[in-house]
Chain A
Amino acid sequence: MTELAYGSGKAFQRRHVLGWSLISLSGAVLSVAYLATVLILTPEQWSAFGLAGGIAAAGLTVFAQALQRRFSRPILDAIDAIAAGDSAPDGFRIAFARLTHLPYRSARDTLIVWSGAAIFVPCFLAVALESVSIFTCIAIAMATLSGGTIAAVFMFFGIKQMVAPLVDEWAQSLPDGSERAELMPDVSLSTKLAVPLLAVSTVTLSFALLLSYALASRPVEAQDVRVKQAYLEYSVDELAKDADAIGRLREIGAAFSATHAMLIIDRRQRAIVDGPPDGMRPAEIEWLLGQTEEATGESTGFDSPNSFAWLNLEADGRRVLVAVTPGSVFAADQLATSMAFAGVTFIALMITFLTCRALARDVSVTTQRLIGRAERIADGDFLAQDVVESEDELGVLGRTFDRMVDSLREMLGRVAAAADGLDRAVNDLGAIGEAVTTATDDQRADIEQATAQVAAVNHKVSQITGNAQALNANVEEASSSILELGAASEQLNQTATTLSSHVEEVGGSIEQMIRSVAQVGENTEGLVAGVSETASSMSEMAVAMTEVDTNATHAAGLSSQVVELSERGQERVHETISGMEAIRDTTETADEVIGSLAGRMAEIGAIVDVIDDVADETNLLALNAAIIAAQAGDQGRSFSVVAEEIKDLADRVLSSTKEIGELIRAVQNETANATEAIGRGTERVLSGVELAAEAGLALEEITGAARGSGGRIQEIVHAVREQAGAARHVAGLMDHVSAQVEDIQEAGREQERGNDVMVRGAHVTRDVAQQTQRTTEEQSRGAGRIRHSMESIRDTVDQIHAGLQEQTHSCRSTVSFLEQVFERTCSNEESSLRLANATRALGEQAAALRDGVNRFRIQ
């Protein structure tokens, strides 16, 4: 609290007493002015009235001040405590409640005090003076009540204006709106507007009616004229001739209060024959002469607007006898009437003007502050902490504003936090997407390389297969040759036993055998060449296998990296979705708050309708008053100005209520815009959730594909390793083949040597038949060994063939696996692209959201 509205309790008290006294004094002056307009009082009556008024004012003021002092004690204590530096003293809430009730309390006390005066003063006058009539008493009571009512109205507005800065200052110390509402009086705007307007209008109109009644048709005066008439008729015989009798009758009449003055007027000469009595003003006499000259016949005494009675003394009506109360005729004086109406008009105008000004000020100050607040909120400034307080619906509206600002601030804070999280998630997602793309590219390159290598392997394998087939054909050929050799050996063996007879045959057979052996040697050399080619192919193949193994292992590592990255991406996507859902929840809260605001606006609209009704009623009243004034003729002319003013006032109220209605409609439009904007925000959030879910789906696909390709690659590695094992096995078998081939060669060479011996022996056939038989047996054994070896080779070659078939199959499946992996990689690439697109869209949404949030200043 930098600056205090009131430095001390005493200053506040002085200001309060001063305001009270000034407004009471104005009310008193107003009452006296009214009274002077309506009544013509004698100096004696005036002094009695002054005495009674003084006593009433002194006594009732003391009483009222005592009441007020007791009521405002907590306020003064709180002001002193705050001035001493205690920001939240004990009883601060009671003091706040008393402060806000003070204008109502002051207005009520004023009304009580003046009502007391309205009873006391007429009673005092009636007791003290006999000459005071009932009409005078009623007029005094009404004038006092009128003054009191107007003083109460202005007391309310005056005190309210006085306490307004203090109420504002203290309301900032009580931030809880519902607590303030509990402490403050509950007065609706329509009551606040209608009661003062109706009170002032009623007082003005009733007083005007009283005035016109007093001036135009006084029942008291009519009664007076009737008494005068009766008295004149009663005494006409006596005073017809004797002039002295007039004086005597005058005294008697005065004693009976029948008449105060009697005079005889000559109509033709327009002169007073007898009289005039004391106390009659020349203007009165002049007016009396004019009236009797124009009038014909006699006064009836009942409906006469005059205050005198007359009677013809002669048949021709030349002389008339007039009974009159001095001073009373002046009541009908037009000049005086006009002056009175002018005075009433002026006072009534002043009062209505001041009331309307106070009313408009009271409502418009609060409304202006509310509008300022609403404009700041509309500009996005949520930091301004000015509490707008009033005890009527505008106060309720102000408190609703506070609540709305709080919930909007909270909501925007949560939206900003969610936007930050979203931003981070989008950045992470982008990085992950890039890593996935890079990894996928690498993987694809690796797989292409692997495919090329596998194709190379396949080529080699088919080469090997060709070689193996050639080998097989050679072996078959060798085998058949060996079988032939075996058969020839057997035959040789048989023939050898009967050697002598078949020497020529032996020679032919030997030649045939030599040719066969040479052919075996040739075949064996072809086999050696095939075997060495196979062995070299096998070693080349082993090198390729190792390369395939390395690449496949690398691809497997990349696949698991892809899986890991994708899982992290999925986590981020789940965080994003939960952030979006939080945004949607807060948006719904804002929607509800705005809905309650719209409800308040509709209530204010209903109040404005009530005011509209009151103004319409006032308009009708004013029109009727104007007609009555017009019927009163010249006398009512001045009052018609009052009626005109009241009618204008009602028209102005009607146009103001129309403006307020437009204002409310504008606020309702703004509320609808806000609801629409929030709806758009919700749509954006929903599309963000969808995009994030899509990104999650893409990531899941990637994970599945990467896992699948990892499994395939593992299978490839496994197959390659198996194949390598098979190749090694083939190499081993080839070595075995090589050794066996060498055995065959050895056997072939042995046979050749045997053949040489045979050739030599053939020449000495007979001699060496036994030797031939042995050699032949030996040769037969060698052929059996060769056949055995050949069969073993054929088995081995079959095994190689089978191994190669298996390898070819493995190669094909590898190729198909690699193709599958390639497809997966392509789909990974596609998914990465979609992920990148989704991430970019998400990033745009996050940026739009952040822009929206940055428009509001909340921290």
Chain B
Amino acid sequence: MASSVLTANEGQIELACFEIEGQVVGIDVFQIREIIRNQETTPLPNAPALIEGVIDLRGQVIPVIDLGRALAQGCSKGGTSARIAIVEIEELIFGLRVDAAVDVLSVASGTIEGPPALATHSGYAAIRAVVRCKDAPPVMVLSLDQILESVYRSNSRAGEEPR
């Protein structure tokens, strides 16, 4: 199921890998525009709670989501290694704050598996695939659509703590 989502012509997929709370997650490089250093965000009134605020990137106003909170892993730690990944899906551009940008990984389609059934049956799956690695823990490939969905569903800042 997942491999049908991650179709690749040459049997190779490029993943940009990031670190969140010591865990490595991957995002398809074609969804990434660039990676920049971490910056202060300007809060946005009445925005969904998962949206931290906006930043000014070369004249363009871009909303920023803390990926750690969006994945319910806790806030990102900040510090000198923290980065913001600028991603684009369906002509929608936004930023994801991560603890560190690790590498660009080229993986063969054969090493990609679907997410565990137990995780997907709960109705919400931020992970769309898992990549097995030889000498390291598996890399979780994120579904940006689902993350966007959870952002839309999260209450505004005045409401409860988001999931």
- Contacts A616-B80, A620-B83, A623-B101; A630 near B106 (Cβ below 8 A): yes
B80 adjacent to A627 (CB under 8 Å): no
The listed residue (A616, A630, A647) touching B29 by CB distance below 8 A is A630
CA distance A577 to B83 in the complex (A): 66
A627 touches B35 (CB 8 A): yes
Please judge, given known A-B contacts A616-B80, A630-B104, whether A624 and B34 are in contact too, CB under 8 Å.
Answer: yes
One of A616, A631, A637 near B30 (C-beta < 8 A): A631
Give A637's nearest chain B residue, CB to CB: B106
B-contact bits for A712-741, CB 8 A (1 contact / 0 none): 000000000000000000000000000000
For the complex, is B160 an interface residue (Cβ under 8 Å from A)? Answer: no
Q: Is the CB of A755 closer than 8 A to any CB of chain B?
A: no
Shortest B89–chain A CB gap in Å is 14
B91 at the interface (CB under 8 A from A): no
Check A634 for interface membership: any CB of B closer than 8 A: yes
Q: Are B104 and A640 in contact (CB under 8 A)?
A: yes
Min CB–CB distance B87 → chain A (angstroms): 11
| Given A631-B30, A634-B10, A623:B104 Cβ within 8 A | yes
User: A626 contacts the other chain (Cβ, under 8 Å)?
Assistant: yes
Within 8 A of A (CB), among B68-114: 80, 83, 101, 103-104, 106
CB interface residues, A 266-291, toward B, < 8 Å:
none
Given A627-B104, A630-B14; A620-B29 close (CB under 8 Å) = no
User: Which residues of chain B have C-beta atoms less than 8 A from A647's C-beta?
Assistant: 103
Within 617-653 of A, Cβ neighbours of B (below 8 Å) are at 620, 623-624, 626-627, 629-631, 633-634, 637, 640, 643, 647
Interface residues of B in 20-44 (CB under 8 A from A): 29-30, 32, 34-37
- Which of A624, A640, A643, A647 gathers most chain B CB within 10 Å? A624
- The answer to the question of B16 belonging to the interface, with a C-beta cut-off of 8 Å to chain A, is yes
Q: Are B104's CB and A626's CB within 8 A? A: yes
Taking the nearest CB of chain B, how far is it from the CB of A34, in angstroms?
Answer: 25
The answer to whether B10 and A627 touch across the interface, beta carbons within 8 angstroms, is: no
Total inter-chain residue pairs, C-beta < 8 Å: 37
Docked Cα-Cα span, A631 to B101, in Å, equals 17
Most buried by A among B29, B34, B37, B104: B104
CB distance from B132 to the nearest CB of A (A): 20
Q: A620-B83, A640-B104 are in contact. Are A627 and B16 (CB under 8 A)?
A: yes
Task: Please report the C-alpha to C-alpha distance between residue A634 and residue B16 in the assembled complex, in whole angstroms.
Answer: 16
The docked-state distance in angstroms from the alpha carbon of A554 to that of B106 is: 111
**Residues on the B chain within 8 Å of A620, using CB:** 35-37, 83, 101
- Closest-CB distance, A844 to chain B (whole angstroms): 55
Q: Which residues of B contact A640 (CB under 8 A)?
A: 104, 106
Contact A624 B35 (CB under 8 A): yes
Cα of A386 to Cα of B69 in the assembled complex, Å: 60
Which A residues are CB-close (under 8 A) to B34? 624, 627
Give per-residue flags for B38-67: 1 if the beta carbon is below 8 A from chain A beta carbons, else 0. 000000000000000000000000000000
Q: Which of A616, A627, A633, A634 contacts B32 (CB 8 A)?
A: A627
How long is the Cα–Cα vector from A342 to B97 in the complex, in angstroms? Answer: 35
Name the residue among B14, B30, B103 with the largest chain A CB count within 10 angstroms: B14
Given contacts A616-B80, A623-B101, A640-B104, contact A631 B29 (CB under 8 A): yes
Q: A638 → chain B, closest Cβ, in Å?
A: 12
Please, how many angstroms separate the alpha-carbon atoms of A740 and B30 in the complex? Answer: 155
Interface residues of A in 307-343 (CB under 8 A from B): none
Cα A634 to Cα B83 in complex, Å, equals 27
Instruction: Write the nearest CB–CB distance from A652 to chain B, whole angstroms.
Output: 15
Contact with B along A91-103 (1 / 0, CB 8 A): 0000000000000
Complex interface: chain A residues within 8 A of B10 (CB) = 633-634
Contacts of A616 in B (CB 8 A): 80
Complex contacts, A634 vs chain B, CB 8 Å: 10
Nearest-CB residue, chain B, relative to A617:
B37
Report Cα–Cα, A859/B34, bound state, in Å: 65
Say how far A834's CB is from chain B's closest CB, in angstroms: 66
A319 to B36, CA, bound (A): 51
On chain A, the residues within 8 Å of B101 by CB distance are 620, 623
Q: How far is the CA of A630 from the CA of B104 in the complex (A)?
A: 8
For A637, the chain B residues whose CB sits under 8 A away are 106
Q: A627-B34, A640-B104 are in contact. List 19 more A-B contacts (CB 8 A).
A: A620-B35, A620-B37, A620-B83, A623-B103, A623-B104, A624-B34, A624-B35, A627-B16, A627-B29, A627-B35, A627-B104, A630-B16, A630-B104, A630-B106, A633-B10, A634-B10, A637-B106, A640-B106, A647-B103
Which 4 pairs across A and B sit closest by C-beta, in order of nearness?
A630-B14, A626-B104, A630-B29, A627-B29
Q: What are 19 A-B pairs at a CB distance below 8 A?
A: A620-B35, A620-B36, A620-B37, A620-B101, A623-B101, A623-B103, A623-B104, A624-B35, A626-B104, A627-B16, A627-B29, A627-B35, A627-B104, A629-B104, A631-B29, A631-B30, A634-B10, A637-B106, A640-B106
